[in-house]
Amino acid sequence: MKNMLLSLFTCLLLAVAAQAQQAKGQLDIQLNKNILQPGDSLFIKVDYKDGGGQILNQSLATLELMVENEEGLRTRLRWPVINGQASGALYLPDSLPRGKYTLLAGLQQRFFEVIGEIKDDRNSGSIQAMLLTKTGEWAEQEVPVAPDGTFAIRNWLFEDNALLAFSGTQNNNQPLNIRISTQLDSSYAPLAVAGRAFYIGNPPSAVRQTLNQPVEISNAAFADQGSVLPAVLVRTTAKSPAQQFNEEHARGLFRAGDERMLSIMTDPSALSFPNIFSYLQGRVAGLQIALTGFNGGVARWRGGPVTFFLDEMRVSAQQIANIPMTDIAIVKAYPPPFIGAPGGGAGIAIYTRRGGEANYLPANRQVFRVRGYTPAAAALNMSKLSL
């Protein structure tokens, strides 16, 4: 009788555990195909479902992805989960080794969040936070600070790396001593895990048969201790911020070598001008600027026309005039004949600010580099720890 009761109790425990596991939900990974060639794109869709196959409304969460090949190379990505779903595409460049790849997915039950603490001046009540992304977009908000100096910033959605800068709201000249950590980079226990395999190239018949089989995965695969993020240190270098910006962002014909480069990011007086046409007046030899009411300005160089470019895309003079000076990083003026201008005319290229540089941020801000979400369409790079 005792053994029967023990067996019954064991069965009840197993049933309760099974029901709890079903209620917890599971990840369903769908690939457009599991055999691909270099140059293809791998489309990935992941749903968080319950035991009955219904999508669970996990409104805001994060999907951690790891891709590992047969050589042991591994890269890590993360996509936002909205309403229980996450999706994206990975372009497979020709440089990727052929062979079998394993895709592991783990659901983290939280979204992008910054937890911080002010080490001194804790009674400030609030601080100003500015997020500057690599695409040049920025957002700013006033963040309440608790009496013990702690604060939290939640649910900012952005791709790739960005700069997060803090300054005081009451006294902008007062430097801050802040420590922050991002919750996505801290240790966590996955809510659910799953795995799939795919192959780049032409797999042997024996391998082809295994690609649809389940991939065993444990929660330990996503163990991450996390760490407090260090502030970005801006040190004096041999190259100016404008030269560093130019080397990173100028491409192809825009690296002409004979252009005149103006740094808006390091010129405080530039912000007092209504637009770039007003700023350029008299600053570049041979360039004549006439201010107009409609287009903002007309430019001529040695009597010939000037073609305008915004982040290396050809645009109209009116579009250039409407760009706020606070959004401009550098201006490059190309004398005629410039190969990128029709008819051998001159060119003016405007480059907007990005989140990868700290040098042009306002003074007296404490700056941190934070990692956002992997772009929804990205090239798979096994030589990088994370995308």
Residue 271 has pLDDT above 60, yes or no: yes
Residue 156 has pLDDT above 90, yes or no: no
Tokens of 289: 């600027």
pLDDT in tens, 12-62: 333 434 344 444 688 999 999 999 999 999 999 999 988 777 777 777 899
Domain 23-110+189-224 fold is Immunoglobulin-like (2.60.40)
In the structure encoding, which two tokens stand for residue 118, read together?
Answer: 């002010």
CB 34 within 8 A of CB 197: yes
All structural domains of the chain with their residue ranges? 23-110+189-224, 113-186+362-371, 241-352
User: Is residue 30 within 8 Å of residue 48, measured between CB atoms?
Assistant: no
How many CA within 13 A on the CB side of residue 76?
14
Q: Determine the pLDDT at residue 91.
A: 94
* CB 112 within 8 Å of CB 181: no
Residue 101 pLDDT level (bands cut at 50, 70, 90): very high
**What DSSP designation does 96 have?**
S
- Name residue 144's amino acid: P
Tokens representing residue 101 in the block: 């790849």
What digits encode the pLDDT tens for the residues 307-358? 999 888 888 888 888 888 888 999 999 998 888 888 778 999 999 887 654 4
For residue range 178-208, list pLDDT tens digits in order: 888 887 877 778 888 999 999 999 999 889 9
Please give the full DSSP string across 141-170, using - where no structure is assigned.
EEEE--TTSEEEEE----BSEEEEEEEESS
CATH 2.170.130.10 fits 241-352, yes or no: yes
Tell me: the pLDDT tens digits for 226-253?
Answer: 555 566 544 433 567 788 788 878 888 8
On whether the CB atoms of residues 105 and 76 are closer than 8 A, the answer is no
| Topology alike, domains 23-110+189-224 and 241-352 | no
